[in-house]
Structures are given as C-alpha cells and as structure tokens.
Amino acid sequence: MTDKFTAAQWAEIDGGHEVTPVQEESYSFLRDLQESRMTKDNGNAKKLTYTDCGERMYLTLLALETMRQYPDFKAYVQRYAKKTAGFEQYKMYRIMGTDLYNFTYFLVGDSGAQDKLKDPESAKRMRASTKLPTSAINRYINAVAQGKTPVQLNNMFQAIESALKVSNSDYKSIRRNLMNFARLTKAEKRLISTRLIYAVRAKLRSSDIIEDFEKFAAVKNLEKASVIDPEPTISTPDLSTTGAELALYRYLVGDRNLALTKKFLEQAKDGKAASANMVAAYLPAIKMIDDIVKAGPGAVQQLRAVHKRAKRT
C-alpha cells in the first residue's frame, strides 16, 4: 500500500467529497498503478530538462495522431485526450493528469513548474523565450476528446516545432508524412511508424502512452526490422546558444569562432554530426579540457568542483 493522498490530491480525485474506506483502498490501488508514469511527482521530473519535456510533449502528440489514423485505436486516443482536456491554462501540476498535460505544464507554467526540472535556471531562461501555441494544442486535444477531426494539424505541429526549435529530421519527416497518411503506401507507413516507435521507446519508455502505443505497433505490424534505431537514450541538456551565455564562449573559443561554436552546440544538442569547421571552432574549449586532464587528478578535481559550483549558481 502506498502512502495516503494529501487533502489536495483527494480533492482532485473526488471533488473534495468525503470518501469511504473502500473508496480510499481503490484510489490507493489506482495510485499504485501509476508508479511508472514519467511525470509522477516522485522525483522523476528532476531527471528531465526543459528540452526533454518539449521533445516528449511533441512525440506524444505524434504518437496520438498516428494511432488516430486507425479506426480501432481512435477510442483509446479519445480517452487519452479526455483525460488531458479541461485544464487549459496549465497553472498547476496534476498528479492524476496525463504525461501530455504535465509536459505542457512544465513548458508553459510559472517558475514553480520549471523548479521541478533537472536544471531549473536554464529551464526558466528557455521558458522566457518560448512561445508554445497552447491555444492550437488545446483545440486539437478538445476536438479529439469529442471524437471530431482536428483542423489545421500541420500548422499546429509546425508552430510547435518552431517554438521548441525541433530540428530532428526524422521527427519532421514523421510529421510531414502524417499529414498525408492516407496517401502513403503500406511500406511508407511502416517506415515512418518504425521511426516513431524507436523515438517513443527511447524518450517515452515509462510514460502513460507507451503500453498502448507498443500494442498498437504490434497489432498493426508496423515495426520494420531493417530500419536502424537512431535514437540516443540520454537526457538532452538545455545548452545555451543565445544571449549572454553564448557571448561568454568568446573567452573559451575566441571571437572568430563564436558563430560556428553556436552551430556546434546546436548539432550536439540534437545528437547530430558536426562539420569539420564546427569542430575546429569548438576545439579551443576541447583543448582546455585536455590540458586540465594532462595536468593530473588534482586539476581534474578542481574542474569538477568549479562545475558543481556553477550548477548551483
């Protein structure tokens, strides 16, 4: 048995009404069932960066839209949308909310939302410069929850990509093909579905959508074994590539290398290969690390201590 719910959690579950011991037992059992959810408030969010939340929110929408293309899975997508809909301002974390709701809350909520993440200060800076199209997202969720066909899908996904600076070519290819899904051949559908399956497994492995999405992929025989899995499984850091933080890189790489250093960081953040020119621009910073390593354990420990202080401040 898990710990008792707080008064606020009971209010969310049952509208603030008094509950019987039998109801309490049932609710606690339901809470047990949610232990694997990605955004459950047991410290899981502390493993996620702001960038992680944006990527996972975007992938969840892609997964829902892919399942929605198949009539026998529309009911699941509708149920998920109903659980997500109804709290369109994203003002508070919801323990009984879907991962999609909570990812969006971390992205557009107040500073308290970003305080729950892995790197709160970087998350707040990114939040200040991110204009997520929440109205379009809410219209999509509400339409799906009511069993209606959502409109202006491509506009919504492109607006999300722009706001979150999604640059992964596979994700963009999945989105473009989804907009013309009915016209694709069976082989083309398997190809984009397999790419999405890999992404969902890597980035949403403990989410509340993974079990049904895996079932969907298996039932529809959508996984193509010959496709190579390109997905990294590590968290994506909130690398600073604009503003004052980037300006400080001149002390590490020099003024002439700033532009290419910015590109290098963006490529690294997206798990992509960098050109020789980009690597050369960042090489002074790499050489600095190499010099410290060559100086021995004492120098490395000093660097680690500086890094820890920097993270705290």
167-197 pLDDT tens trace? 888 899 999 999 999 999 999 999 889 999 9
- pTM greater than 0.85: no
At 19, the pLDDT band (50, 70, 90 cuts) reads very low
Q: Rounded mean pLDDT of the chain?
A: 81
At 160, the pLDDT band (50, 70, 90 cuts) reads very high
pLDDT at res. 110: 93
**Radius of gyration for the alpha carbons in the chain, expressed in angstroms and rounded:** 22
Distance CA 123, CA 296 (A): 34
Query: Residue 269 pLDDT > 80, yes or no?
Result: no
As to burial, measured by CB atoms within 10 angstroms (0-12 exposed, 13-18 middle, 19+ buried), residue 9 is middle
Backbone angles phi, psi at 206, to 5 degrees: -110, 20
pLDDT at res. 188: 92
Query: Residue 15 pLDDT > 50, yes or no?
Result: no
Q: For residue 27, give both structure tokens.
A: 């609710």
Question: Given the structure tokens 């809350």, which residue do they identify?
Answer: 105
Q: Alpha-carbon dihedral of residues 141, 142, 147, 151, nearest 10 degrees?
A: -70
Give the C-alpha distances (Å, rounded to integers) separating 37 from 42, 43, 97, 208, 212: 10, 11, 10, 5, 13
Mean pLDDT of all residues in 279-298:
84
Among residues 131, 161, 169, 135, the alpha carbon closest in space to that of 150 is found at 135
pLDDT at res. 255: 76
Q: What percent of the chain has pLDDT over 90?
A: 43
At 226, the pLDDT band (50, 70, 90 cuts) reads low
pLDDT at res. 271: 63
At 36, the pLDDT band (50, 70, 90 cuts) reads very low
Alpha helices in 34-85 (DSSP H): 50-68, 74-84
- The single-letter code of the amino acid at 7 is A
Q: For residue 185, give both structure tokens.
A: 């051949």
How long is the chain?
Answer: 313
pLDDT at res. 30: 44
- Judged by average pLDDT, the poorest of 71-85, 151-165, 256-270 is 256-270
CA 280 to chain centre: 31
Residues 6+ away with beta carbon under 8 Å from 256: none
- Is residue 64 a contact partner of residue 144, using CB atoms and an 8 Å limit? yes
Angle, helix 50-68 to helix 210-219, in steps of 10 degrees: 40
Q: What percent of the chain has pLDDT over 70?
A: 78
